[in-house]
Amino acid sequence: MELNGILSALIAGVVIGALGRLLVPRSGNLGCLLTILIGIVGAAIGLVVGASLDVGFWLTVLFQVLAAAVLVSVFSLGRR
């Protein structure tokens, strides 16, 4: 992984977390910062999966979004 990929995962995680917070504002009482942090972790996981499979940019972004969505869902269910 390159620094460029890590930075894009960080930015994607912030965007994914913020959008998740805007779309579902009361999902399991997760705070805004925690939602963004979960989005960053999900984006990093998606980056690792996409880079290991060498699938290209758009599928890596898809893996990032899916991983972040799953993590936010899991944390939302656990915090109720």
For the entire predicted model, the pTM comes to: 0.73
Hey, what's the torsion of the CAs at 20, 22, 25, 27, to 10 degrees?
Answer: -10
**Residue 21 located in a structural domain:** yes
**Residue 80 located in a structural domain:** no
**Residue 32 located in a structural domain:** yes
Confidence of residue 55 (pLDDT cuts 50, 70, 90): very high
Overall number of domains in the chain: 1
Confidence of residue 23 (pLDDT cuts 50, 70, 90): low
Q: Which residue segment(s) compose the domain that 68 sits in?
A: 3-75
- For residue 48, count CB atoms less than 10 angstroms from its CB and return exposed for 0-12, middle for 13-18, buried for 19 or more: middle
Confidence of residue 64 (pLDDT cuts 50, 70, 90): confident
Q: What is the number of other CB atoms lying within 10 angstroms of the CB of residue 53? A: 11
